[in-house]
Amino acid sequence: MDQSKQRAPRFPLPLRPSWLSALVLALAIAFGVVSAIRLAAYRDPVALWRDARARQPENAPAELNLAVALQNSGRLPEALDHYQQALRLDPDFFEAQTNFGIALLHAGRPHDAIAPLQAAKRQRPQAERILNNLGVALFSVGRFEEAIAEFEEVVRLKPRMWEGHDNLARALERAGRTDDARRHYAEADRLHRAEHTPNPTIHGR
């Protein structure tokens, strides 16, 4: 298992824009508030949300969606600034807490990611995507026992999530609990193979 020790846990969990701000924009387009000329600029999501932000200053969902657009276009440092701005405007904004934590992980700043992910967890303590990413952050700074607790909750909530078992196995291995790690590696492998095995098709006459 030496090779697995060199790999970080997985966090394949997507960024989520604010549905509310997107809905407001969709309604504006539907009712003709946004002109056809301005729609041309909206082919670029960054331009879209910069315009929305200019029209609605001090708007946390607009800041969040601009941050997501910037991150998805590879402009992570700028995105981090706008995540922080969204949280300045609304410190309890769950989607901003979540996405800011994930973005900090992508930026190689796991220590900084812990606080926003813990804040998100306080709001939704059974959201497995939050627990998984918090576990990744804790693992990355060497807090293996705390990471184990998060990953154990992930597999309790989602027992068929192979990534959760894999992450738990990695944390257990780092904590020296090799027998438990082997068990979860085996379960992760079994679930992964089952997930990627095509189901036979039954053909009727």
What does the DSSP assignment read for 5-64?
HTSPPP--------HHHHHHHHHHHHTT-S-HHHHHHTTSHHHHHHHHHHHSTT-HHHHH
Q: What is the pLDDT of residues 132-185, one digit of tens each?
A: 999 999 999 999 999 999 999 999 999 999 989 999 999 999 999 999 999 999
In tens, the pLDDT along 47-83 reads 877 877 787 788 888 888 889 889 888 999 999 999 9
Query: Which pLDDT value is given to residue 58?
Result: 87
Mean pLDDT, all residues of the chain: 80
Report how far residue 69's alpha carbon sits from residue 31's, in angstroms, rounded to the nearest whole number.
Answer: 24
184, part of any domain: yes
| pLDDT value of position 19 | 40
Taking the CB of residue 15, how many other CB atoms lie within 10 A of it? Answer: 17
Domain limits for position 39:
2-195
The per-residue pLDDT for 79 is: 93
Q: Please give the pLDDT value at position 182.
A: 95
Note whether residue 124 is domain-resident: yes
Flag whether 119 is in a domain: yes
CATH number of residue 13's parent domain = 1.25.40.10
**Backbone angles phi and psi of 109, in degrees to 5:** -120, 65
pTM of the model: 0.78
pLDDT at site 9? 66
Say if 204 falls within a structural domain. Answer: no
Residue 120 lies in a domain: yes
Higher pLDDT, residue 156 or 129: 156
Is residue 200 one of the residues assigned to a domain?
Answer: no
Would you state the pLDDT for residue 170?
92
How many structural domains is the chain composed of? 1
Q: Given pLDDT bands bounded at 50, 70 and 90, which one contains residue 38? A: low
Classify residue 205: in a domain, yes or no: no
- Is 201 domain-assigned? no
Q: Which residues contact 150 (CB under 8 A, 6 or more apart)?
A: 131, 132, 134, 135, 138
